[in-house]
Amino acid sequence: MNNVWSIGPFLLQLHTISLMIMIAAALLLMIWRLRREGEKLDAWLDLFTSYIIIFLICYKFGFVLEDFSILWHSPKALIFMSGGSWNGWLLGVIGILVITYTRIQKKKISLSILLNVLPYGLSIGGSIGCAIEVWFDRSMSYMLGTALLLGLTIWLLMGSASLRKGSQCSHFLIGGGIGGMVVTLVDRTVTNSLSIWLGLNPLQCIFIVMSFMGIWLLNIQRKYSEG
């Protein structure tokens, strides 16, 4: 994406604006759903704020973990550059898991509610991100991704199950996994990468794992409800 405008040496890029819109939409929809559930929002806002801060730190400074010499050779890069790294995102995921675990242990949030409300944010945020990409890149994969994620959002909104006892997370994983696999089969450009298992590329393997995780969670939930 091209830069929108510059303020002195600072560049405000379209992908940054896109990211801000995605986060805002995801947060608003999740908060709306939690309010509809009757949840107290203070603990959830605190948790989501922590998630966003960790994500933004990884997004802005993750590249430093690939080359620490930047800190003394080009310190200005910390201001002007951005970009995540595998190490940065890994640390971010660990940080999110630790924060989530501590909040659950302190009984400030419910794990079942968290798992079932996250799909709302992921689906609406992802659909907006894909739609913005379609505006600049008319690729079939982004169009199909927009339709898939928007469909998942509508499906979630149409559901009447509570977040505490519902299966929104399972349905999101199954629908996203199967739908994502369909996208990779329809648009062959998505699969132009190294095969790692049975002729499948890494993205296709992720979609398969998502589907099986959703089925596994759904079976566990059914056994728990029957017992």
Whether residue 24 has pLDDT greater than 50: yes
- For 206, the enclosing helix (H) or strand (E) is helix 202-226
pLDDT tens across 184-207, in order? 888 766 655 555 556 778 888 899
Question: What integer is the mean pLDDT of 208-212?
Answer: 94
Whether residue 63 has pLDDT greater than 70: no
Question: What integer is the mean pLDDT of 43-67?
Answer: 82
Would you call 6 helix, strand, or coil by DSSP? strand
pLDDT tens across 36-45, in order? 999 989 999 9
Whether residue 212 has pLDDT greater than 80: yes
Question: What integer is the mean pLDDT of 17-39?
Answer: 92
Range 110-115 contact pairs with CB under 8 angstroms and sequence separation of 24 or more: 110/164, 112/163, 112/164, 112/165, 113/34, 113/37, 113/39, 113/163, 113/164, 114/47, 115/168, 115/169
In sign, the C-alpha dihedral spanning 173, 169, 175, 141 is negative
What pLDDT is recorded for position 19?
84
Q: Which residue has the higher pLDDT, 69 or 20?
A: 20
Closest CA to 48 of 94, 106, 91, 109: 109
Whether residue 4 has pLDDT greater than 90: no
Cα–Cα dist 224/227, whole Å: 5
Q: Where are the alpha helices (DSSP H) in 8-85?
A: 14-37, 41-61, 70-73, 77-80
What pLDDT is recorded for position 1?
45
pLDDT tens across 108-142, in order? 899 999 999 999 999 999 999 999 888 877 788 88
Cα–Cα dist 30/23, whole Å: 11
Whether the model clears a pTM of 0.85, i.e. scores above it, the answer is: no
Query: Backbone phi, then psi, for 109, in 5-degree steps?
Result: -135, 165
- Residue 13 per-residue DSSP state: E
Question: What integer is the mean pLDDT of 221-225?
Answer: 77
